[in-house]
Amino acid sequence: MGKIKWIAGFLGWVTWGPIGALLGFLAGTFLDVQLDASRRLLESDDTAGRSAGAQRQAGNRSYTADEQRNSFIVSLLVLSSAVIKADGQVRQAELDHVRSFIRRNFGSDVVDEAMRMLDGLNRQTVNIYEVGGQIADHMNYSQRLQLFHYLTGIATADGDFSASEKSVLEAIAGAIRLSKSDTSSVIAMFYKDKESAYAVLEISSSATDDEVKAAYRRMAMKHHPDKVATLGQDVQKAAEEKFRKIQEAYETIKKERGM
């Protein structure tokens, strides 16, 4: 995936907001030629290259799979930077987690430029609330849930889920407009105890067996990998991990109760 495709696809998805500004700065640092080419591409292509103002006015425009996929990757990298820097330092374990995730879900050919972009972002200040608001305006709820699950994985990559990282994650969840129950559910997926299993299913330990079963069906539907099918098979593959967490929580509760 070339840099021009990344940027052009992304600009075809969102307006020049805070994410666009960050990309513009990075482009001025090491992607200036590619950004100029992407702008020319956008201007010359009537479909993929409509202006930011026209996109805002359109409102109900349908975004292509490539646009959604590329914007998901860029959004993922921008917010990854905020999580990585949450505790005041950039840890190698977290960078390795990002690298592994990108390679596993998007392919080896994407890794180098994704990590270069992340390195540039790590040198900048990311306004979580502005970026998160822009993402919430252009990304559906299931996609935002998947994005948040990935970001929580970064925070736990070094085995130390710090208070500052949790605080940043909760701020991101609020900025991208996730419910508090969904936020707690995703965070609970990264703990291994019985109470967390209930939190994953968004119920209390006092729930009846029937309520447990109903909660599992509801959560399985909400987090099903098909919900992010428009982002492509690679993101859908990543969503399977989150779906397994729902199944594991249910099995943990069933075993505990002898259901």
* pLDDT tens for each residue of 160-181: 677 888 899 999 999 999 999 9
- Is the pLDDT at 236 greater than 70, yes or no? yes
Closest CA relative to residue 77, chosen from 115, 132, 124: 115
For the chain, give every residue range classified as CATH 1.10.287. Answer: 180-259
What does the pLDDT average to over 186-210?
A: 86
Residue 38: the pLDDT is: 46
Is a pLDDT exceeding 80 seen at residue 99? yes
CA dihedral 238, 242, 247, 249 (to 10 degrees): 150
Tokens standing for residue 96: 């390795």
Angle 78-45-134 from CA coordinates, rounded to 5°: 25
Q: Which of 123-127, 148-152, 230-234, 236-240 has the lowest mean pLDDT?
A: 230-234
d(CA 57, CA 87): 40
Whether the predicted pLDDT of 48 surpasses 90: no
The SS3 call for residue 42 is helix
Predicted pLDDT at 33? 43
Residues contacting 2, CB < 8 A, separation 6+: 34
Average pLDDT on 195-203 reads 87
Q: What is the pLDDT of residue 29?
A: 44
Amino acid 121 reads: L
pLDDT value at 26 more than 70? no
Q: Between residues 144 and 109, which one has the greater pLDDT?
A: 144
Q: Considering only the top CATH level, what class is 180-259?
A: mainly alpha
What is the pTM assigned to this prediction?
0.70
Residue with tokens 């539907």: 221
Asked if 158 and 121 count as a contact pair (C-beta separation under 8 A), the reply is no
What would you measure as the largest C-alpha separation in the chain, in angstroms?
Answer: 64
